[in-house]
Amino acid sequence: MPSSLSSVTPPARCRIQVNRDQPGSLFVALAGHLDELSAPQVINDFVALLNKEKVPQLFLDLAGVEYIDDFGVAVLVGFVTSVSARNGRLRMENIPEGVAEMLDRHRFNDLCQPEITTTKRKRTDSITNLGIFTLGAFSSLRHSLIFLGDTCLSLLRVCSHPRLLRGNDTLLFMKKVGVDALPIVALISFLLGLIMAFMSSVQLAQFGANIYVASLVSLSMTRELGPIMTAILVAGRSGSAFAAEIGTMKISEEVDALFTMGIDPHVFLVMPRLIATVLVMPLLTLFSDLFAILGGLLVGVSMLDLTFNGYIAQTISTLDLFDVFWGFGKAVIFALLISWTGCLRGFQVEGGAAGVGRATTSAVVSSIFLIILSDSLLVVMLRYWEG
Amino acid sequence: MRSDSKHATAKPVIKVRDLVAGYGEEVILKDLNFDVLEGEIFVILGGSGCGKSTLLKHLIGLCPPMAGSITINDLALTDEQNLQRVLRQCGILFQSGALFGSMTLAENVALPLQEYTDLPQTHIDTLVRMKLALVNLAGYEHHLPAEISGGMKKRAGLARAMALNPQILFFDEPSAGLDPISSAELDQLILHLNKTLGTTMIIVTHELDSIYTVADRIIMLDKRAKGIIAAGDPAHLRENSQNSYVRQFFNREPSPHKTGLE
Ligand SMILES: Nc1ncnc2c1ncn2[C@@H]1O[C@H](COP(=O)(O)OP(=O)(O)OP(=O)(O)O)[C@@H](O)[C@H]1O
Ligand SMILES: [Mg+2]
């Protein structure tokens, strides 16, 4: 027995020797160390041998085997199964005591049988898969509705007992969702205003209607693009974070721990995120509008020969307060959608790290989808409302 | 208790010299000096939070030492290439099992075999079945880690750690979360691996029974001393130690004048 695997020189290689005695039978002798180091070579030799000789009966003489470890046992199992796969038979002879003990310990005969596990994952056909998918979709819908109900109930509870809300957490999330997002929201909106002004001026300049660049930028930003851009950024930054945080807590049984302590996970985890997002999103949207107008102003003054005052005056006359508040209203709706989806996906996490990854992706994708969907509905609503 | 004679001529596999271990600025353990001999079962003892897991993380190069040196097979762990070579020879069982959640148990155990050996997949499958059977998890090959119990995760982690028949095995609390029978079987498995493969084992554990069964040598760490307060043979220490904490530990006595954990 080698004292350890650390020895610098590998143990003597294992040899396969063929003695062809009788017709119809093949006598093979194995000798040496049958272990991790020699296994790949022995397997290759044996496969080559089997491919060359087509003999139904194979006798394997193990008398020369000095040492065997579990890799060696796996090699022998491979011999037996590959011979029987070729409709042959393999018999082992002269098994030394140490080898026999090793084979017994690993239940050699069981290993040679094809695997019998009661719980093997079932392979399914496409119809079954369709069924599983449909059921999954329904149960996910059901889960979402239950979650929606729970969220509304805990919102009511928090409204009637404001002390249930964890104030510090809410402030922290307001910082994370709002303050920390301000630079990127400002930058992107500024660039967006710049681009819009520039592109529209190309067309409007043909009619000498440069001044309407101000109207176009301000109106489209406050009503549509400001809220949507902000929402998409917040969904990417914070919605995903909500899903990942809650999902990780879910798989490490922290959510269960909360529940057993008699703390409602919805009030504890969802409410601070939801309320913080709803509070800061309108503010972020306002900043987004302002920075976009600033971007438009820069293009207007520097490239379109508009005056600073003229641009501002045109902006003010285009916008009325309703447009700004309409944008705020949208921001609130988007905030609800983003935080709700993020938390929902977090609570739906199952399994391990991969589950958290899926939840994060799906939080972002479904919030963006919901944002665009609800925005379309709101546009239609507004159209009929204004007559 | 086990005989020491078999190690009379053994050479040290792991050498720890003047090690200071800690996180960031915080020193958890200092002035550690010890050797682990080839083929020995070396047990690290100590109260909760005294730095056993920390020491283990340093021994396998996960955390760089604040001072001092660690060598495994005379290779210093500070060098990235050395570390790779050393870790190829080591199997590690983490305190939480650390199975990959997106892979089945069989895939978890097969991973090191696929990465480091040239065996065909059918042989790897056979080996995986053998390894899982060794830790009594036959039939659970196709379960995901999320679908099995805590103790089963531990055992599956053990199967993965020993997949390559490593020269050195590190265990962080292998028997925590196991019932007495499984825990006794685990001890037998440890002794078997040690005997047949000559595997050197470094084990962190609290189980007194299992210490008496498997340990060749122990060291005991202490939170206040931030270092080793006792080293040697467990039965000998129990009878003869001058240190009251060591005697208390072995005799399972609560601390005088204290009700809670320190
Ligand atoms: N990642 C870390 N960063 C900073 N300090 C840590 C870190 N991990 C552990 N510690 C500190 O190091 C000390 C030792 O921790 P360690 O996990 O090594 O204890 P232990 O002996 O394994 O305890 P147990 O038996 O409970 O597992 C503790 O006081 C802990 O606060
Ligand atoms: Mg620990």
- Output the domain CATH number for residue A66: 3.30.750.24
pLDDT digits (tens, 9 = 90+) for A24-78: 788 888 888 888 888 888 888 888 888 887 777 888 888 888 888 888 888 888 8
- In terms of CA atoms, which chain A residue is nearest residue B102? A354
The shortest C-alpha distance from B89 to chain A (Å) reads: 8
Assess whether pLDDT exceeds 60 at residue A5. no
Q: Give chain B's count of helices (H) and strands (E).
A: 9, 10
Q: Report yes or no on A231 lying in a domain.
A: yes
Q: Give the end of a domain, one of A116, A135, A157.
A: A116
Within 8 A of A70 by CB-CB distance, chain B residues are: 127, 130-131, 165
Q: Report yes or no on A206 lying in a domain.
A: yes
Q: Give the end of a domain, one of A116, A134, A154.
A: A116
Q: Report yes or no on A138 lying in a domain.
A: no
Q: Report yes or no on A334 lying in a domain.
A: yes
B53 lines ligand 1 (CB under 6 A): yes
Residue A282 burial class via C-beta count within 10 angstroms: exposed 0-12, middle 13-18, buried 19 and up? buried
Same domain for A231 and A338, yes or no, is yes
Would you call B119 and A120 a contact, using CB atoms and an 8 Å cutoff? no
Q: Report yes or no on A57 lying in a domain.
A: yes
Displacement of CA B206 from its chain's centroid (Å)? 12
- A43 close to B (CB below 8 A): yes
What is the mean predicted confidence (pLDDT) over B230-259?
75
Same domain for A259 and A322, yes or no, is yes
- B197 close to A (CB below 8 A): yes
Distance (Å) from CA B51 to ligand 1 centroid: 5
Q: Report yes or no on A21 lying in a domain.
A: yes
Predicted ipTM > 0.90 = no
More confident residue, A192 or B153: A192
Same domain for A86 and A162, yes or no, is no
How far is it, in rounded angstroms, from Cα A86 to Cα A88?
A: 5
Q: Which residue type does A270 have?
A: V
Within 8 A of A121 by CB-CB distance, chain B residues are: 104, 142
Same domain for A54 and A152, yes or no, is no
Cβ-proximal residues to A50 (8 Å cutoff; 6+ apart), any chain: A82, A83, A86
CB of B108 within 8 A of CB of B99? Answer: yes
Same domain for A81 and A162, yes or no, is no
Same domain for A232 and A301, yes or no, is yes
Phi, psi of B200 (to 5 degrees): -85, 135
B23 lines ligand 1 (CB under 6 A): yes
Same domain for A209 and A356, yes or no, is yes
Assess whether pLDDT exceeds 50 at residue B239. yes
Q: Given A78, A81, A354, which is nearest B102 (Cβ)?
A: A354
Residue to mutate among A66, A76, A117, A123, with most B CBs inside 10 A, is A117
What average pLDDT does chain B have? 83
Assess whether pLDDT exceeds 70 at residue A121. no
Assess whether pLDDT exceeds 80 at residue B63. yes
Considering its fold, how many domains does chain A have in total? Answer: 2
Same domain for A155 and A64, yes or no, is no
How far is it, in rounded angstroms, from Cα A235 to Cα A374?
A: 15
Same domain for A247 and A344, yes or no, is yes
Same domain for A195 and A329, yes or no, is yes
Q: Report yes or no on A134 lying in a domain.
A: no
pTM above 0.95, yes or no: no
Same domain for A230 and A354, yes or no, is yes
A 5-24 near B (Cβ less than 8 A): 5-6
Domain of A265, in residue numbers? 144-386
pLDDT digits (tens, 9 = 90+) for A194-239: 999 999 988 888 888 888 889 999 999 999 999 999 999 999 999 9
Residue A229, CA atoms < 13 Å, CB-side half-sphere: 27
pLDDT-based confidence at residue B257 (cuts at 50, 70, 90): low
Q: Report yes or no on A282 lying in a domain.
A: yes
Would you call A75 and B123 a contact, using CB atoms and an 8 Å cutoff? yes
How far is it, in rounded angstroms, from Cα B122 to Cα B114?
A: 11
Q: Which of A46-50, A180-184, B7-11 has the lowest mean pLDDT?
A: B7-11
Domain architecture of chain B: domains with CATH: 1-89+167-185+200-253 (3.40.50.300), 100-163 (no CATH)
Same domain for A112 and A175, yes or no, is no
Q: Write down the pLDDT at residue A335.
A: 96
Q: Write down the pLDDT at residue A222.
A: 92
Segments of A3-139 assigned E as strands: 15-19, 25-34, 57-68, 89-93
Q: Is B73 left (phi over 0), alpha (psi -120 to 50) or beta?
A: left
Cβ-proximal residues to A258 (8 Å cutoff; 6+ apart), any chain: A264, A265, A268, A269
Residue in B169, B120, B139, B125 with CA at minimum distance from that of residue B14? B169
